[in-house]
Structure 1
Amino acid sequence: MIYKVLGKTGLKVSVIGFGASPLGAEFGSIVPEEGKRAVDYAIEQGINYFDVSPYYGRTLAEKRLGEFLKGKRDKIILATKVGRYGISLPDGFDFSAQRIIKSVEESFQRLKTDYIDVFQIHDIEFGKRKQIIEGTLPAIFK
Structure 2
Amino acid sequence: MSKATAAGSARILVVDDDEKLLELLRMTLQRAGVELVAVADGVRGMEALQSERFDLLILDLMLPDIDGLEMLRQVRQDPRFDKMPVLILSALAVRDIIRQGLELGADGYLTKPYLPDTLIGCVRNLLAEGRRRPGQPSGCAG
* TM-score (norm: length of structure 1): 0.47
Give the greater-gyration-radius structure (CA).
Answer: 1
More helix by share: 2
